[in-house]
Structure 1
Amino acid sequence: MLACGLALAASPAAARDDEQIWLNVTAMGPVSGNLLYFAEFQARGGIGDDAYRQLNVRPAVGWRINSQVSAYLGYVYVPTDINDNRANTENRVYQQLGWSFGKTAIGELSSRSRLEQRFRSDGSDTGWRFRQLLRTVVPIQSNPRPIKALATVEVFANLNTTDWGARSGFDQLRSFVGVEIPIQGRSTIEAGYLNQAINRPNADLRVNHVLSIALFIRR
C-alpha cells in the first residue's frame, strides 16, 4: 500500500509541486485510570512558489478501551495564510480509533481511523472526511531503545461535497518514510520525508514534498 502511494505521488499527472517544512510537537498520556489526553501543535510552511503558512492546534481527550485500542474525541483549529493574507480558518471536530497490532511480519504495526466534521470560514457547509492511517516501525539497532525505521501511509476521503471546495471521493494521500529516535523516557523524535498528493478537482494532482520533524512527549 505504501508503494502504491509513492507511485501515485510520482505519477506524470502531478504537474504542480511545492516544498514545505512541517514542525510538530505532541504531548500525550494518561490523566487518571483509562482517561487519556492528547495535545498537538503543528506549524507548516511553504518554501516553494507560494508563501504558505498553516497552523494545526489539536487537543483531544481519550479512553483506553484495552491494551491495544484507544478512542478519542478532539477539536482542531486550522488558520491558513497564503502570501501574507488569511485564506481561510477551519474548525474541526473529530472522532478517532487507534489500534496497536504489535509485532508482525512487516514490523510493529498500528492503525488510526479518524472521522472529521469540517467547518470553514469561506463557506457554510459542513464537510465530512474519513482518514485511515497505517504505521510500521522496524528496529535498526539491537540495543534496548533502538533507533527505528518508520513508514506510514494515510488515505483521505471526502464523504460529501461542500460549497467551499471539497468534492466527494478521494481527497489526498500522505506517504512518510523516516526514523524514530528515542529520547528521554518514552518520548521520541520522528524525522523524515513526507509526500502529500492532493486531488484537485478540474486541475492536476498537487504534490508537496515535505521535510517533517516531530517531537512526541509521552508520559
Structure 2
Amino acid sequence: MALSLAAIGTLGASTAARASTDAQLWAGVSATVKLSAKWRLSQDAFVRFSDNRNGLYEFESNTLVGFRLSKVTTLWAGYTHDPQYAAGHFTTMERRAREQVTFDNFAALGPGKLSGRIRFEERWREGVGGTGWRIRPYLKYSLPLRGKVALNLSTEPFFDLNTTGFQRTPGLDRVRNLATVSVPLSKRLTGEAGYMNQHGFVRGAPDTSDNIAYFALNFSG
C-alpha cells in the first residue's frame, strides 16, 4: 500500500509537466462528535480559491451521520452542499448524497498507521440534467514525528461511474495527493497544514494540475 502511494505520487509528478497548472488555496474546519456509544455526527466546511478562476470558486459543506461497527470500521451517510463560483460570484449549485465506509488505523506500517475510506457519491447540479455517480477510495499513512505531531500522506483517486452534462470523464477523473503535518493545539483541536497536488485527466485536451496550499482545523469531541 505504501508503494501504491509512492507510485501514484510519481505519476502525478511525471504528468504535471504536460498539464495546465493552477495555484490554489484550500482552508477548512471539521468537527466530529459522539452522539452515543455507536453514533457519530461529522460536519466540515471548506473554501477553495484559485488563481486561474480569479478567487473563490467553491464552498463545500458536508454533514454526515456515522454508525460505528467496531473500533476500526464506521458506516456514514449524509449530504453535501456545494455552491460554485466564478471570481467570487455565485454561478450554480451542486448537491450530493454521500455514503462511505471508513477504516481507522486498520494496519501498522513501521512506526506509522494506515487508515482508509471508500466513498460513494450521487451528484446533482442545478440547470443540468442527470445524476452523476462516482466512487472515491482513499488511503492515508500517518507517521508520528514527535509526541502527537505527525506527518500525513494520502492519496484519493476519483472514478466517475457514468457521464452527465457536468460529469464528463468516464473512469479515472482525478487524483488528489496530499502531504501535511498535523499538530495538536489543545486536547480536542488539531491544526493541519501542507501541500496537495490535484491532477485532473482531460480527454482531448491538456490535463490539469492544481498546486494547493492546504490548511485545516479539526475538532474531535
Q: TM-score, with normalisation over the residues of structure 2?
A: 0.91
> How many residues align structurally?
215
2:206 to 193, 204, 207: 204
Shift, 1:106, TM fit: 6.6
Q: For the residues of structure 1 that align with 2:63 and 2:213, how far apart are their CA atoms?
A: 23
1:32 to 32, 36, 42: 36
Shift, 1:54, TM fit: 0.6
Residue pair 1:79, 1:86 contacting (<8 A) in 2 also: yes
Residue pair 2:161, 2:171 contacting (<8 A) in 1 also: yes
Shift, 1:161, TM fit: 1.1
Residue pair 2:140, 2:153 contacting (<8 A) in 1 also: yes
Give, as a single letter, the amino acid of the residue that structure 2 aligns with 1:193. Y
Give, as a single letter, the amino acid of the residue that structure 1 aligns with 2:9. L
SS at match of 1:32: coil
Where does residue 52 of structure 2 map in the other structure? 49
Taking only the aligned residue pairs, the percentage that are identical comes to 28
Q: Which moved more, 1:209-218 or 1:74-83?
A: 74-83
Asked whether 1:128 is paired with 2:133, we answer yes
Q: For the residues of structure 2 that align with 1:86 and 1:109, how far apart are their CA atoms?
A: 38
Residue pair 1:106, 1:136 contacting (<8 A) in 2 also: no
Shift, 1:41, TM fit: 0.7
Asked whether 1:114 is paired with 2:116, we answer no
Segments of 5+ residues of structure 2 without an aligned counterpart are none
Asked whether 1:104 is paired with 2:109, we answer yes
Q: TM-score, with normalisation over the residues of structure 1?
A: 0.92
Q: For the residues of structure 2 that align with 1:103 and 1:182, how far apart are their CA atoms?
A: 21
Asked whether 1:7 is paired with 2:10, we answer yes
Shift, 1:84, TM fit: 4.2
Matches within 5 A, 1:1-219: 1-10=4-13, 11=15, 14-46=18-50, 48-51=51-54, 52-100=56-104, 101-105=106-110, 107-141=112-146, 143=147, 146-219=148-221
